[in-house]
């Protein structure tokens, strides 16, 4: 499959679609997942047109990893989570639903069931508040 420059994440990068932004630098962007599997579910994407890890420029792989490493502790702190799940899916057979490389950061705790991936839209006011909590934890 060829990269689709009109996928939702490409539109978010170009500011043609809204997001609840958490962090941005020259090479990456982080925002709240609008269909979260748990409160605080954050996505990190490269500002590079890559469908999956196999297409991603090595410099962007490094930038992506650095942003995930920076944000994971902030997400964990903001949601007082004892654990954090980092997930990255490549291809529909692996569960990827948006074909622009991205990494999931999901706060985890024992006994908390995760919602199904990409099934139910969250309340936008709640997502805005979650983004603010993560930003505060980054400061």
Active site residues per annotation: 102
Instruction: List C-alpha distances in Å: 128 to 22, 52, 67, 122.
Output: 9, 27, 20, 10
Question: CA-CA distance, 10 to 65, in Å (whole number)?
Answer: 19
Question: CA-CA distance, 111 to 70, in Å (whole number)?
Answer: 26
Instruction: List C-alpha distances in Å: 122 to 38, 39, 132.
Output: 10, 9, 16
Strand order from edge to edge, sheet including 103-108? 21-24, 28-32, 42-46, 103-108, 83-87
């Amino acid at each position: 499959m060829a990269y689709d420059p009109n996928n939702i994440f490409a539109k978010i990068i170009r500011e043609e679609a809204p997001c609840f932004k958490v962090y941005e630098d020259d090479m990456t962007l982080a925002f709240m997942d609008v269909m979260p599997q748990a409160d605080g579910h954050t996505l990190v994407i490269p500002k590079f047109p890559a469908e999956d890890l196999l297409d991603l420029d090595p410099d962007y792989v490094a930038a992506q990893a650095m942003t995930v490493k920076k944000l994971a502790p902030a997400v964990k702190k903001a949601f007082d989570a004892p654990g954090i799940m980092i997930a990255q899916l490549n291809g529909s057979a692996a569960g990827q639903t948006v074909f622009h490389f991205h990494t999931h950061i999901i706060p985890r705790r024992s006994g908390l069931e995760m919602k199904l991936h990409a099934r139910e839209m969250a309340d936008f006011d709640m997502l805005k508040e979650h983004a603010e909590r993560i930003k505060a934890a980054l400061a």
